[in-house]
Amino acid sequence: MDPSIQIDEEKNEAAQDHKKKNEAILEGLLFLTGDDGLTLAQASETMDLKKSEVEELLDELQKYYVSDERGFEIERFGETYRFLSKACVHSYAKKLFQINNEAKLSNAAMETLAIIAYKQPITRVEIEEIRGVGADVMLHKLEARGLIKEDGRSDAPGRPILYSVTDEFMDAFKLMSLEELPELPKFGDGQEESDDLFKQ
């Protein structure tokens, strides 16, 4: 084999490996940023790549996730990208997280609901700052149960999603209005306060 051809092949393989690594990193960042999404600027700064390079990688990932074999898709909102479950998953998600009169919510769920009820509309990052732990998975569960909803977007960088409680939340906890909520508890001092707050 011509040495120059071998060198070119090795360069191509190295380039493909580098591309796959960057795509994997982007997938991880998309997962970590959750509903708030990942902006081109954030990815560019984090990965030390040009915005155009990041955009090209994300566009290719979008095409990959369009496949019927994938349960997720990547949505683009301006310069922000985020993972979404596909429509074919929605009915199963509702079954998985469907709330009923006998359902018990965890302490973490109660605390997250309390924060949203008192502070709405509020972003995921603001919830996490109050609780001190990640809230992405919990928000998905509460939204699937119909207790919270997306309520527009913040004007903050990246335009993160805002969350508010729903009418179903009001019905579940027998509230006529949010004014009936007791005094705001001190989150982080223990779980008992949030349990008592929304005891069914």
Same domain, 73 and 107: no
Same domain, 188 and 105: yes
Buried b (16+ CB within 10 A) or exposed e, 34-64: bbbbbbbebbbeeeebeeebbbebbeebeee
* Whether 165 contacts 117, CB under 8 Å: yes
| Angle subtended at Cα 177 by Cα 171 and Cα 121, rounded to the nearest 5 degrees | 95
Under DSSP, is residue 22 helix (H, G, I), strand (E, B) or coil? helix
Same domain, 170 and 142: yes
Alpha-helix residue ranges (DSSP H) falling in the chain: 3-33, 40-47, 51-65, 87-97, 107-119, 124-131, 136-144, 167-172, 192-197
Please count the structural domains in the chain.
2
Same domain, 119 and 176: yes
Q: What rounded mean pLDDT belongs to the chain?
A: 81
Residue type, 117: A
Task: Flag whether pLDDT at 189 surpasses 60.
Answer: no
Same domain, 153 and 69: no
> Could you read off the pLDDT of 57-100 as tens digits, one per residue?
999 999 888 876 788 899 888 889 988 888 888 777 777 666 44
With respect to residue 162, please indicate whether it lies within any of the assigned structural domains.
yes
Same domain, 122 and 46: no
Q: What is the pLDDT of residue 185?
A: 58
Same domain, 112 and 179: yes
Of the candidates 57, 85, 113, which is a domain's last residue? Answer: 85
* Residue 165 lies in domain: 96-197
pTM: 0.51
What's 156's domain CATH number?
1.10.10.10
Of the candidates 20, 50, 85, which is a domain's last residue? Answer: 85
Same domain, 142 and 162: yes
How far, in Å, CA of 195 to CA of 200, rounded? 9
* Whether 21 contacts 143, CB under 8 Å: no
Closest to 196 measured CA to CA, from 173, 176, 178, 179? 173
With respect to residue 91, please indicate whether it lies within any of the assigned structural domains.
no
| Residue 28: pLDDT band with limits 50, 70, 90 | very high
82-146-136-71 Cα dihedral, nearest 10 degrees: -50
The dihedral sign for the CA sequence 87, 91, 92, 93: positive
Q: CB under 8 Å to 52, separation ≥6 — which residues?
A: none
Task: Flag whether pLDDT at 200 surpasses 60.
Answer: no
Same domain, 71 and 108: no
| Residue 8: pLDDT band with limits 50, 70, 90 | low
Of the candidate ranges 19-23, 160-164, 174-178, the one whose mean pLDDT is the lowest: 174-178
Same domain, 72 and 111: no
Of the candidates 85, 106, 131, which is a domain's last residue? Answer: 85
Same domain, 191 and 102: yes
How far, in Å, CA of 149 to CA of 26, rounded? 27
Same domain, 58 and 142: no
With respect to residue 90, please indicate whether it lies within any of the assigned structural domains.
no
Token pair of 48, please?
């030390």
